[in-house]
Structure 1
Amino acid sequence: MENMQRFGHVVMLGPTNAGKSTLLNRLIGQKISIVSPKPQTTRNSISGIITQGDVQAVFLDTPGLHRQKRGIAPLLMRSAYAALAQADVVMLMLDAAQYARRIDGLAPDLKPVVKAVGDGRLPVLVALNKVDVVREKVKLLPVLEAIAEALPAAELFPISALTGVGVDELLKALLSRLPEAPHQFDPDEVSTAPVRFLASEIVREKLFLALGDELPYSMAVTIEDWDEKSKPGLTKIRAAIHVGRESHKPMVIGKGGERLKDVGQKARADIEEMLGTQVFLELWVKVRRDWTDDPSFLRDLGLGQ
């Protein structure tokens, strides 16, 4: 008798910069979700697929939860909560380093998500990330008590997504709670996201890292052209960087075009690694005013209804 297969969706929720994308990339074994120290890095619900024997899970890395009410922020919040409709298991990730500095339990941002997942309908696991940087573990007691009170049925896993501490135990627990169901993907698939989307996300990541405090948040990346046929072994990609104001263009381009050139070189290297082929990457910057209020453009980005 063959073993029964398990399949399901694990929705990853948590505040901005809690480390969800870093964890997803570690679990998958390669980069599929962009990482930066800036909030609102993850905009779409990025999916990663893990297959271990008879168990297959689709992990959804959602936009970080926060309380901002302007710009694109409310749309990102709706995207995060909408992912719960697909969930078989919920993983709530918290930043241990941040909570070591708090004395009042869970942050107010988390009250809505606790309300949404605390009804016992779904298994909930809490990953307390970045425990490797907290020297005085006793400072985490208030958040541990708050989690136990807010989500009494949840299991708690201290981890470090960066170093891997506790990650195997967390993954084993998540996979064990998936329902019995046939697998939906080939064992070698690692994401449901199209490679064009992943390429645009890589460019956006390099922009986040290059711009630092200068970062204009009204910035998006679209792939305008993708040519794999004209020259064997070479993929030609033309990508547009959309900014909300004319004054943002020189920030992205940099003096003499050096910043844009650097972003392009670093993005090209990551895209080549992802595709396993040589890449010619052309970037240019376009002004698209008020794109966060353009339903058609938001749909093109995968953010609209």
Structure 2
Amino acid sequence: MDHASAPDKRSGFVTFVGRPNVGKSTLTNALVGEKVAITSDKPQTTRRAIRGIVNRPGGQLVIVDTPGIHRPRTLLGQRLNDLVEQVLGDVDVIAFCVPATEKVGPGDRRIADSLSGYARAKKVAIVTKTDAASREQITERLIEVDALREDWHAVIPLSALTHDQLDVLADELLPLMPEGPALYEEGVVTDESLEDRIAEIIREAALEGVRDELPHSIAVTIDDIATRETGSMTDIHASVVVERDSQKSIIIGHKGSRLRDVGARARAQIEPLVGTRVFLKLHVRVAKEWQRDPKQLGRLGF
């Protein structure tokens, strides 16, 4: 057999699991070096398996970003949990995340225990947000996390924010991957379509600073993307879909002020992505109780 072409290169799939808001999306973006997963101070904002791709001298890590595991209250919640199940059954490494700033609790224990159901994946534990914790807290957390399972291949403290120990994580993960060539070409950072990435950016902008009843009730659809003949401007028409009229008025704001802010914030991030100036037209529409309706969920891509 000829191994000369790819000496000991490894590549495979890793996913980060943990309670909502332990910093999984921030960690994905930090490793990839570019924003591929939306982050928000609202828990459970990640909805689909976004793959972030990390190229290292020794090979390639493909990060599958799952929604936080939670007890489902709606059909959407159930579908998200099914997605998690599917992803965890397919990856090479499951990395379990716990923030350094909070004691390990029953929710963490439940998730750590559930990992036994995925025998083929190797398990790694990560203590996140070390930049916000004292040395005592970090030590305490490492001891607690280490005790959760006997089969951790590594327990790594890190900060995605300051990039402290990020390289250590990548260096620990790569040897756990199967040998083989890169799964994606150099320069690819995600396998999400441009439309999906734009929709997620708009959803993130719409979530910023809204009251707690909104996060799960917002979906975004891209209705049209067209580059003008001159090539210097892209027109994007998108719908922000909510469940109730009262939510519609929150998103639009007084005389449309909030929607304008959402558009401006989203546009600033979309322009570097499409490489031209962007004219973004946002339309807010109500789809009653869409999270509980299989037909509407299908139309919105879930």
1:250 and 1:8 mapped to 2: Cα distance? 45
Match of 1:249 in 2: 248
Q: 1:262 to 1:201 in 2, by over 3 A?
A: same
Match of 1:286 in 2: 285
Counterparts of residues 92-111 of structure 1 (less than 5 Å): 92-99=96-103, 105-108=104-107, 110-111=109-110
**Cα distance, 1:242 vs structure 2:** 0.5
Moved more, 10-19 or 260-269: 10-19
Match of 2:239 in 1: 240
Q: 1:261 to 1:14 in 2, by over 3 A?
A: same
Counterparts of residues 42-121 of structure 1 (less than 5 Å): 42-70=46-74, 72-99=76-103, 105-108=104-107, 110-117=109-116, 121=120
Counterparts of residues 210-229 of structure 1 (less than 5 Å): 210-213=209-212, 215=214, 217-228=216-227
**Cα distance, 1:48 vs structure 2:** 0.5
Q: 1:119 to 1:234 in 2, by over 3 A?
A: closer
Match of 2:146 in 1: 148
2:36 and 2:52 mapped to 1: Cα distance? 7
* Alignment partner of 1:17 is 2:21: yes
Residue aligned with 1:108, SS: helix
Match of 2:179 in 1: 180
Find 1:33's aligned residue among 14, 29, 37. Answer: 37
Alignment length (residue pairs) = 297
Which consecutive unaligned segments of at least 5 residues does structure 1 have?
A: 100-104
Q: 1:179 to 1:260 in 2, by over 3 A?
A: same
Calculate the TM-score normalised by the size of structure 2: 0.91
Moved more, 3-12 or 123-132: 3-12
**Cα distance, 1:50 vs structure 2:** 1.4
1:69 and 1:215 mapped to 2: Cα distance? 15
**Cα distance, 1:112 vs structure 2:** 4.3
The one-letter amino acid of 2:146's match is A
1:81 and 1:109 mapped to 2: Cα distance? 17
**Cα distance, 1:131 vs structure 2:** 1.6
The one-letter amino acid of 2:262's match is V
The one-letter amino acid of 1:58's match is V
Give a deviation string over 1:233-282, Cα, whole Å, max 9, x none. Answer: 22111110001011111100000100000000110010012222211111
Give a deviation string over 1:46-92, Cα, whole Å, max 9, x none. Answer: 11111223511210111112235346333222222221122011111
Q: 1:231 to 1:164 in 2, by over 3 A?
A: same
The one-letter amino acid of 1:134's match is A
Match of 2:168 in 1: 169
2:171 and 2:117 mapped to 1: Cα distance? 22
2:101 and 2:137 mapped to 1: Cα distance? 12
Match of 1:199 in 2: 198
**Cα distance, 1:127 vs structure 2:** 1.0
* Alignment partner of 1:129 is 2:149: no
Moved more, 74-83 or 239-248: 74-83
**Cα distance, 1:138 vs structure 2:** 4.6
Residue aligned with 1:82, SS: helix
Match of 1:266 in 2: 265
Q: 1:106 to 1:6 in 2, by over 3 A?
A: same
Equivalent residues of 1:239, 1:282 under 8 A apart: yes
